[in-house]
Structure 1
Amino acid sequence: MRLLLQWTTITPILAWALFFTGLVYDSSIFQVVASVLLIGSVMSAVHHSEVIAHRVGEPYGTIILAVAITVIEVSIIISLMVAGGDEAASLARDTIFSAIMLILNGIVGLCLFLGGLKFREQIFTKHSATIALVSLIAIVILTMVFPTFTTSVSGPYYSTPQLIFVSVACLVIYSFFLLAQTRRHREYFLPEGADDAQTMAVSGKKMAVSLVFLLLSLGIVVLMAKTLSPTIEKIVISNNLPKTLVGVIIAAVILLPEGIAAINAAKKNKLQTSVNLALGSALASIGLTIPCVSIVSSLYDMNMILGLDIKSMILLGLSVFTVMLSLASGRTNIVYGAVLLVNLAAFIFLIIHP
Structure 2
Amino acid sequence: MTSEHSAPGAAGSPSFLAFVKRERVLGIAVVTSIIAFLFEDRLFHDMGHPVKLTFLLAWLFSVILASAVGVVRHAEVISERLGEPFGTLVLTLSITGIEVLSITAVMLNGENNPALVRDTLFSVVMIIMGGMLGISLLLGALRHRELTFNLQGANAYLGVIIPLAVFSLILPNFTRSTEGPTLSDLQKVMLGLMAAGLYLIFLMMQTGRHRGYFAQPEEDGAPTEEHKKPSGPLWLSVILLFCYIVPVVYLVEQLAKPIDYIIETRGAPGVIGGVLMAILVTTPEGIGGVRAALNKRLQSSVNIFLGSVLATIGLTVPIMLAVSSALGLNLQLGLAPTDALLLVLILVVSIVTFSSGRTNLLQGAVHFLLFVAFLLLIYRG
> TM over 0.5: same fold?
yes
In structure 2, what is the equivalent of residue 310 of structure 1?
Answer: 337
**Structure 1's 296 and 326: CA in aligned 2 closer, same or farther, altered over 3 A?**
same
Output one character per residue of 1:97-143: Cα deviation in whole Å (capped at 9) or x when no partner.
Answer: 11111111122111111111211111110100100001001111111
Q: In the alignment, is residue 115 of structure 1 matched against residue 134 of structure 2?
A: no
Q: State the SS of the aligned residue for 2:177.
A: coil
Superposition CA RMSD, Å: 2.8
Tell me if structure 1 keeps the 8 A contact 2:124–2:309. Answer: yes
Tell me if structure 2 keeps the 8 A contact 1:168–1:291. Answer: yes
Count of residues paired in the alignment: 351
Q: State the SS of the aligned residue for 1:49.
A: helix
Tell me if structure 2 keeps the 8 A contact 1:144–1:307. Answer: yes
**Structure 1's 215 and 332: CA in aligned 2 closer, same or farther, altered over 3 A?**
farther
Q: In the alignment, is residue 173 of structure 1 matched against residue 198 of structure 2?
A: yes
In structure 1, what is the equivalent of residue 302 of structure 2?
Answer: 275
Following the alignment from structure 2 to structure 1, what is the Cα–Cα distance between the partners of residues 315 and 274? 19
Following the alignment from structure 2 to structure 1, what is the Cα–Cα distance between the partners of residues 323 and 159? 28
In structure 2, what is the equivalent of residue 21 of structure 1?
Answer: 35
Tell me if structure 2 keeps the 8 A contact 1:221–1:253. Answer: no
Q: State the SS of the aligned residue for 1:269.
A: coil
**Structure 1's 322 and 220: CA in aligned 2 closer, same or farther, altered over 3 A?**
farther
Letter in 2 for 1:334: L
Q: State the SS of the aligned residue for 2:93.
A: helix
Please, which of 124, 129, 132 is the counterpart of residue 154 of structure 2? 129
Letter in 2 for 1:339: V
Output one character per residue of 1:79-100: Cα deviation in whole Å (capped at 9) or x when no partner.
Answer: 2223356x42222111111111
Q: In the alignment, is residue 255 of structure 1 matched against residue 282 of structure 2?
A: yes
**Structure 1's 96 and 199: CA in aligned 2 closer, same or farther, altered over 3 A?**
farther
Give me the identity figure in percent: 33
- Structure with max Cα Rg: 2
Tell me if structure 2 keeps the 8 A contact 1:113–1:333. Answer: yes
1:145-156 matches, cutoff 5 A: 145-156=170-181
Tell me if structure 2 keeps the 8 A contact 1:142–1:166. Answer: yes
Letter in 1 for 2:153: S
Please, which of 101, 104, 107 is the counterpart of residue 129 of structure 2? 104
Q: In the alignment, is residue 10 of structure 1 matched against residue 51 of structure 2?
A: no
For normalisation by structure 1, the TM-score amounts to 0.88
In structure 2, what is the equivalent of residue 164 of structure 1?
Answer: 189
Please, which of 80, 88, 91 is the counterpart of residue 62 of structure 1? 88
Q: In the alignment, is residue 246 of structure 1 matched against residue 273 of structure 2?
A: yes
In structure 2, what is the equivalent of residue 215 of structure 1?
Answer: 242
For normalisation by structure 2, the TM-score amounts to 0.83
Q: State the SS of the aligned residue for 1:228.
A: helix
In structure 2, what is the equivalent of residue 337 of structure 1?
Answer: 364
Following the alignment from structure 1 to structure 2, what is the Cα–Cα distance between the partners of residues 233 and 82? 15
**Structure 1's 100 and 29: CA in aligned 2 closer, same or farther, altered over 3 A?**
closer
Tell me if structure 1 keeps the 8 A contact 2:117–2:274. Answer: no
Tell me if structure 1 keeps the 8 A contact 2:101–2:249. Answer: no
In structure 2, what is the equivalent of residue 264 of structure 1?
Answer: 291
Letter in 2 for 1:215: F
